[in-house]
Amino acid sequence: MGNADTPEGRGVMAWLARLTGRRPRPAPLQHPGHSVFAVKRGNNASAAEAPRLADQGVAMNTDEQIRVTALVQGTVQGVGFRYWTWRQSEKLGLVGSAVNRHDGSVEVVAEGPRWAVRDLLREIQGPDAPGAVFKVDAHYEDARGGLNGFTTG
């Protein structure tokens, strides 16, 4: 049991990669504060306190309004990434923007309920996102308002 030619021998993904001739997809990207979204409803702590409180097991209110500024790095310009992000944000009811930066990255600012911001960041890092996302550096803060709709620039 567990010989190298079976799934148990090297892991299912390695076995499937050999079988299909395709490289296994790397693990999903993690971003700072990821654990903020894995906690229960209940507390109205600020977005800045969320990572510290999540580590302590304090419940968070997933309907609380927050803002995320995410720097998305990879092959994300010239592939429809900003417009795809706009569509995802519209579906989730978020407001904000997706803007190309001179260094080849895209800056995404989104504001709305914590659960919707979480879902947008998951989609950005997911397999359906256009281009190739290598890294997402996300910074959270309390919602400030002043944003209307979602824009691309």
Q: Is 100 a catalytic residue?
A: yes
Q: Is 82 a catalytic residue?
A: yes
Let me know if 145 is exposed, middle or buried by CB neighbors in 10 A (0-12, 13-18, 19+).
exposed
* CA-CA-CA-CA torsion sign (59, 46, 105, 123): positive
Q: Which entry of 82, 101, 114, 148 is annotated as an active-site residue?
A: 82
SS3 of 86-107 = HHHHHHHCCEEEEEECCCCCEE
Q: Which entry of 10, 43, 100, 122 is annotated as an active-site residue?
A: 100
Question: How many Cβ atoms sit within 10 Å of the Cβ of residue 56?
Answer: 7
Residues tagged active-site: 82, 100
